[in-house]
Chain A
């Protein structure tokens, strides 16, 4: 699924489908899932029967008909909001299904190859895939290495390498092998593959209410019961008032009026939009190429207050870069730069390349064509812990240039009967203290100087962490570096805490510790080593490039395999919860105005004496045209506001990285105060239009 595809809020096809679905969703089996809207539907049905009955009786009331129509619209609008939220997921699911056409698998038994349908594959089966084959199901590469096109899932067209062993062994059904041949052991049962689960997730077919959504539904149902009580007792109170005013009991409140009042009071706005908000939360994650295996995970993301971040890739660019040359006594900087470049010309590691570039940029020493120089390159080995080059000069002398760790070069120098200066040792110690990696350069028996290799902290990351801190989220950097180096980088990046020389089991321990103190922990990982920690964390995001074990353990999968995704996921979670809270507040605040519209309208006759205009008309602060238009306006406003808020429910309220207090004040002003005022204005306008 690609982020590049058309995901605009309202494309025509989705709108049409959603309009159709809102009628399909009128079935009781569906409606019962949403108690608030179910009450509205029951009310609509009752009013409709009443209108039908009236027509048969010949006492047709257009007011009752209009009430009944708008009540049905309220239900339809609520259905529509959910349908449109699902619609976007459905469109994405269709794209996915296309990739899951009937693939054939080349199943291997012993040395024998059989061709069977992909759907017949069982867990543990071994299949062969060669260039051009579509991988039939999810699995683990057990032999070979291949480049794989994963664009079907990630939308990223550049192929990725998948190889046996290590952390890049997982392959996904539906992706395509571009080169080479691999053996894959199938790790999932049919129907439960990654693509299957993705389709189910984006379609919302298996969507279960999340814990907070359940709690909110309970609140909304509770409020509905409160209002039901207020409304069902009203005719009795009215009867008392009618008797006291000397009016006939036949003037008591009619059923449609009571239902209208009830529907206006129960929280239909948030009730109608609740599931759309939940679905669109999933959807917003999808647009960031993150798949959550449950809605619960997104909610938890909003609550996370400790993030464990791997240093490499998240906080720093993947690799160290050369940033400076520091010379030994009596050595010119050009000589050092030249030697450093020569030693690295054939070094294809990112560090090596960065040395070549630094020499070029700083001292204009151009990279030379190595083959013409009679040079023999000495590659880095774990034993020697240095690399370099042996050159034959024109005079026929042998130049031995080496770069490497301080100890390795020291041994090299001493073996060549050279002298390892105290000054160099001091420089090395100082650089290490700053968190950098010093590489010592030597030629023959002389030390030329030191290359300053540094971890480059990603641009903007410090600010990002500051924002997280404002939101009350603590960041912990995890690194295998020693604590000196780790401390320096932690300070530069502005993380709150770090774990140096961390092993995978340390991660798990740290998560448990934080959780024991009541924190919710989020982390992102890819390796098999990370799997336990991913499973333990409250939010475990597995990178799609990672191992199958990691992908199984996490509750989210990042298709882009981008470690900074964790931060975005937290933001999506927070936005989801904010939207829910804001619309709930708005919905409840709305009720005040509706009372001021409906109560004076229905009680106008009470204690009116001969004037016909009772004392409660003083509550008609909106000065609405007639009792009937007042009730109708309130019902219409109540229906229309659902549709008007659909875009907000889908997009979510505006999110800013600010403290809880600032966010609360802002949302309260907009949705609390706005929710109080908006219906006064809205109902007045609708009433004005009705009475034109």
Chain B
């Protein structure tokens, strides 16, 4: 690593830390219904939206009604997206005349974008029309991220309110997230990205003659508008197949830095919003610290692995599969952030990461996408871990466990366990199925332990709603499209339902005022405990699987064997 690499990494984290309270405080104002700077700009649109939906923005519901609104909204989004893919050839804005999408791919893609996973079993530029990309995918980029924020708001209200069953209005939360947070930010960054050279047009693909005299098709399209939100909303579904490694998606070092920052921006800022909403900014920073430490630890291991001399190729860093424009540091910083944050956009092929860096990427996802994680989803996932930490360690102070004055009892523990189990079931069972069945194995491009890692990664990515791929695996088959699609659904709603149920149960409880006998959850000791619980729980679940994949691969590489 050079000095400049270090400076860039430090600049990256400084900006992240610096922007967290600013954006966090703004979102606090937005979601608490206070006045804020965007209200005069979009306030009329907010009112119009409520009138259009026919909801009273101040009428709050219990968690079940909230969930049904959320579910109905997501289901309609899914059906719409599924259908426009199936019939894309008959729909407008399709200048390249792409044909209809196969039913299983359409199912997979629809689930993928509705669940904020943005796993792409297809190649964007050769499969989907501009119409589907804009009306289908980009819209879901917004609303799936907003859905995550909505669920987070419910659990925050569950924690901070007492003896009530009113937990908010889904339509209000959804509208505010989109109008005041996602839309303004993505407009702002789209403009900046266009300035950096990201394409934004409706042209047909151009065919050019290269210097060697070969013919090359240059894809075009309205990319910038989708890229800003794919980064901001932890979506990650690229406009082009190579995602942010493509020069039209990510043309300059500045666009690269910016896009990396956008990956973590909202999830990080939400920790501050959380602190403000539960009435203690320290609580927010505690969660932020735990996330940051895990991220930096993963980054350090990855950087170490990538910069270590490779016994197979001599003392060279591995550049295969990485963009020479970005180099190792920017590739690894991106790969760590995008897997930690459930984003899934890439500027490097994760398949080509060294085994340890690949394992970090995989583990980031397996730990439940809680290291900043998806927009909203990362923090509510983290709250699940907090509940478990408080329950296990809280007893050691001699009181039945409580978090922010709320007792953690059988129901909360039960729901938390379900939320932890749901993605684990997907990852382990589906990986096991794929690794012994012919339809699972036939998609592999690589042999040995690396092939196993590809399978494991695919299901982790689906279950964690991440969406990045180890590539190397041809996932556009009926088997993978269906299993991965199912995995994404379980990974998304298998967590959302228990989180909402916990919110409902906690809101009904009284709030116990803190005292010297209270288990403190806003100090470094708790940060350490939380990290330990995440690592031990995640580690214990996936250690056998990981040791048969990337761990073996790493050890073999040191013996001079690669796949």
Contacts and interface: CB of A to CB of B under 8 A. Distances in A.
Contacts of B539: 592
B213 interface: no
Interface in A218-275: 218-219, 221-223, 225-227, 229-234, 236-241, 244, 265
B425 A581 contact: no
Given A222-B421, A244-B451, A471-B516, A668 B396 contact: yes
B452 A244 contact: yes
Given A471-B516, A599-B547, A668-B529, A215 B391 contact: yes
Q: Which of B431, B539, B555 has the most CB of A within 10 A?
A: B555
Interface string A652-668: 00010001110111011
Contacts of B431: 233, 236-237
Contacts of A589: 536
A187 interface: no
B398 A575 contact: yes
Interface string B514-551: 01111110010100010010001101111111011001
B48 to A, nearest CB: 42
Contacts of A581: 392-397
B241 interface: no
Contacts of A226: 420-421, 424, 537, 540-541
Contacts of A668: 393, 396, 525, 529
A599 B544 contact: yes
Given A226-B541, A595-B540, A616-B547, A244 B529 contact: no
Interface residues of B, number: 69
B396 A230 contact: no
Nearest to B391: A219
A519 B513 contact: yes
B536 A592 contact: yes
A305 interface: yes
A42 to B, nearest CB: 20
- Majority SS of interface residues in chain A? helix
A592 B533 CA distance: 12
A214 B545 CA distance: 31
Contact of B410 (A211, A238, A305): A211
Contacts of A469: 516
A577 interface: yes
Interface in A518-552: 518-520
B506 to A, nearest CB: 13
Nearest to B435: A240
A126 interface: no
A222 B417 contact: yes
A230 B388 CA distance: 20
Contacts of B396: 578, 581-582, 585, 663-664, 667-668, 671
Given A603-B548, A616-B555, A265 B516 contact: no
B57 interface: no
A244 B553 CA distance: 12
A212 B529 CA distance: 21
B436 interface: yes
Contact of B408 (A215, A584, A671): A215
A474 interface: yes
Interface string B136-179: 00000000000000000000000000100000000000000000
Interface in A432-479: 469-474
A619 interface: yes
Nearest to A241: B548
A667 B32 CA distance: 39
Contact of A240 (B436, B529, B547, B561): B436
Contacts of A211: 400, 409-410
A229 B429 contact: yes
Nearest to B540: A591
Contact of B398 (A574, A615, A665): A574
A585 B399 contact: no
A659 B517 CA distance: 6
A508 B435 CA distance: 66
Contacts of B76: none
Contacts of A574: 398-399
B410 A214 contact: yes
Contact of B432 (A233, A517, A595): A233
Contact of B417 (A219, A230, A619): A219
A230 B544 contact: yes
A578 B393 CA distance: 9
A203 interface: no
A298 B519 CA distance: 19
Contacts of B547: 599, 603, 616, 619
Given A299-B400, A585-B392, A518 B413 contact: no
Nearest to B447: A244
B542 to A, nearest CB: 7
Interface residues of A, number: 76
A9 to B, nearest CB: 22
B540 A230 contact: yes
A309 B420 CA distance: 45
Given A219-B417, A233-B431, A578 B395 contact: yes
A212 B400 contact: yes
B223 interface: no
A472 B413 contact: no
A214 B400 CA distance: 12
B98 interface: no
A222 B539 CA distance: 16
A518 B541 contact: no
Contacts of A230: 428, 540-545
Contacts of B452: 237, 240-241, 244
Nearest to A222: B417
B42 interface: no
Interface string B422-448: 001100110111011000010000011
B370 interface: no
Q: Which of A240, A592, A660 has the most CB of B within 10 A?
A: A240
Contact of A518 (B513, B543, B551): B513
B556 interface: yes
A563 interface: no
A607 interface: yes
A580 interface: yes
B10 to A, nearest CB: 32
B414 interface: yes
A472 B545 contact: no
B517 A305 contact: yes
B552 interface: yes
Contacts of B451: 240, 244
Q: Which of A218, A470, A663 has the most CB of B within 10 A?
A: A218
Given A233-B429, A236-B433, A581-B394, A661 B525 contact: yes
A492 to B, nearest CB: 23
A244 B449 contact: yes
B413 A660 contact: no
Nearest to B448: A244
A297 interface: no
Contacts of B477: none
A225 B537 CA distance: 12
Contact of A222 (B420, B433, B543): B420
Report, nearest first, the 3 A-B pairs whose CB atoms are least far apart. A472-B517, A581-B395, A574-B398
Given A469-B516, A588-B536, A616-B551, 11 more contacts: A222-B413, A223-B417, A227-B541, A229-B421, A233-B428, A236-B433, A520-B512, A592-B536, A659-B517, A660-B397, A660-B398
Interface of B: 162, 388, 391-400, 405, 408-410, 412-414, 417-418, 420-421, 424-425, 428-429, 431-433, 435-436, 441, 447-449, 451-452, 510-513, 515-520, 523, 525, 529, 532, 536-537, 539-545, 547-548, 551-552, 555-556, 559, 561
26 contacts: A211-B409, A219-B392, A221-B417, A227-B541, A230-B543, A233-B545, A237-B435, A238-B548, A241-B449, A244-B449, A265-B540, A471-B517, A519-B513, A577-B399, A578-B395, A581-B397, A588-B392, A592-B536, A599-B547, A603-B547, A614-B552, A616-B552, A619-B551, A660-B516, A663-B396, A664-B396
